[in-house]
Amino acid sequence: MKDERQLRHVIDLARGEINQQRAPLARRYLDEINRDVEECRDPLLSAEYQLAYAEALAATNDPSSENEFQDALDKISNLPDRDPLLEMRCQEHFARHLRRIGRRCDALKHCESAKKLAVESRLFRDSARIQMLHILLTLEIDKSPQLPALQNLKQAARDGDFTPQEQLAAWMQYCGETVVKEQGLMFARGRGTVEYFRVLLKSVREEQRDGIPN
């Protein structure tokens, strides 16, 4: 029987395979340690395993993944010592899975829980990423005419490797919630287009860089 350190290492390996879009291999890793995790009787380890298993199933579009996510959330919620980071990850990934299968209203509820946990834990990068998901879900649910603009923003962000924080700041500027520098130039390039957001994202990056103390 593997010890807890070895079991967590296998779980981390499985998560890495999921991130590399090799979910079937991740499931094999997890299946191999299933009995050891059960025999270990560690609530946190069991919750970590369950979440990784749910993520692996979701990545292969297995119809049972929703139940597995719910089981993971139940285990995490009942831990003797609360683990906000694990709970945040579960809520976010559950939300992304539900969105993928068209359950956007349910996804929004889990996204809101994840956002709250990120803010409470002062995880600003995670908070920005989850906030962008929240905006996307809201626009999709409302069938908003702003949805193509957000998709253009995400395309521009992918092209330039912009962070979720930079994306969120650019979206807030686009929506008129902050002062936009060089507004004339950006509007001349066509408000809401991919090129518009490329310029806006670069402007945001420069602003954030200038705001960092030396």
Q: What domain range includes position 179? A: 145-214
Predicted TM-score (pTM) of the model is: 0.89
Number of domains the chain contains: 1
141-199 pLDDT, tens per residue?
999 999 999 999 999 999 999 999 999 999 999 998 655 544 555 554 578 999 999 99
CA distance 108 to 98: 9
The answer to whether residue 210 scores a pLDDT higher than 90 is: no
Angle at CA 141, nearest 5°, toward 175 and 50? 110
- String of DSSP letters for 139-171: HHHHT-TTHHHHHHHHHHHHHHT--HHHHHHHH
- Is 156 within the bounds of a domain? yes
Residue 214: per-residue pLDDT: 45
Q: Is the pLDDT of residue 212 over 70?
A: no
Residue 204 forms part of a structural domain: yes
Q: Phi and psi for 102 in degrees, rounded to 5?
A: 90, 10
In a domain? residue 193: yes
pLDDT tens-digit series, residues 67-123: 999 999 999 999 999 999 999 999 999 999 999 999 999 999 999 999 999 999 999
22-59 core/surface letters (b: 16 or more CB in 10 A; e: else)? ebebbbebbeebeebbeebeeebbbbbbbbbbbbbbbb
**105 within some domain:** no
Classify residue 202: in a domain, yes or no.
Answer: yes
What is the Rg, in whole angstroms, of the alpha carbon atoms belonging to the chain?
20
35 within a domain of the structure (yes/no): no
Q: Which residues contact 77 (CB under 8 A, 6 or more apart)?
A: 87
Tell me, yes or no, whether 177 lies in a domain: yes
Q: Where are the beta strands (DSSP E) in the chain?
A: none
Q: Flag whether 165 is in a domain.
A: yes
Tokens of residue 17, six digits: 């395979």
